């Protein structure tokens, strides 16, 4: 194919994803074929298969199957109120409004508790730093050379 090694790996990965998507599509169609009750409705919603949009098509099938399987459950969910976004500090419960600081641990904090040593932060900064360093600095080993 006259490609460099990097481009060749990308082409191979893309082909593997397309074959996985095609296998998933055929599995879903076989499952729908066995279930004759909702086959006509779901088949009408399925777009045409194209090799360039294989992953999007697979996601569309999953969405339509999920919608048809839980049709009555989704109708009951609008009656439940949506959870409100918390605008209070996770440590002192003080209202923060627009000046709240989001931490990597997922909490929202006021200006006095925004630093990780001021609240009980569960995020592991050391592990993230080590991972970033290991990705940025891969281990380089020279090949052993036979001495004459």
pLDDT for 62-108, tens place per residue? 444 444 444 444 444 556 665 666 789 988 999 998 888 999 888 89
**Is 147 part of any domain?**
no
Q: What percent of the chain has pLDDT over 90?
A: 22
Cβ burial, residue 131 (10 Å; 0-12/13-18/19+) = exposed
Helix (H) / strand (E) element for 20: namely: helix 5-34
**Is 47 part of any domain?**
yes
- Residue-range definition of the domain harbouring residue 106: 97-136
The total number of structural domains in the chain stands at 2
Q: Where a domain ends, among 70, 89, 106?
A: 70
**Is 148 part of any domain?**
no
CATH of the domain at 106: 4.10.1110.10
**Is 29 part of any domain?**
yes
Upper half-sphere CA count for residue 82 (Cβ side, 13 Å): 3
Looking at the structure, do residues 13 and 50 belong to the same domain, yes or no? yes
Average pLDDT over residues 47-58: 46
CA pair distance 36, 25, nearest whole angstrom: 17
pTM of the predicted model, to two decimals? Answer: 0.37
**Is 9 part of any domain?**
yes
Q: Which residues of 85-111 are buried (b: 16+ CB within 10 A; e: fewer)?
A: eeeebbbeebebeeebeebeeebbbbe
Higher pLDDT, 126 or 86: 126
């Amino acid at each position: 194919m006259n490609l460099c090694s990097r481009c060749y790996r990308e082409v191979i990965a893309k082909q593997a994803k397309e074959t996985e998507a095609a296998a998933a599509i055929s599995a879903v169609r076989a499952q729908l074929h066995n279930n004759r009750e909702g086959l006509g409705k779901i088949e009408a919603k399925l777009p045409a298969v194209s090799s360039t949009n294989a992953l999007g098509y697979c996601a569309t099938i999953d969405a339509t199957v999920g919608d048809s399987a839980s049709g009555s459950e989704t109708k009951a969910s609008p009656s439940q109120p949506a959870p409100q976004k918390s605008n209070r500090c996770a440590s002192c419960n003080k209202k923060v409004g627009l000046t709240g600081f989001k931490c990597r641990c997922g909490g929202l904090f006021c200006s006095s508790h925004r630093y990780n040593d001021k609240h009980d932060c569960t995020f592991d900064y050391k592990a993230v730093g080590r991972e970033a360093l290991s990705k940025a600095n891969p281990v380089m080993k020279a090949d052993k050379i036979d001495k004459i």
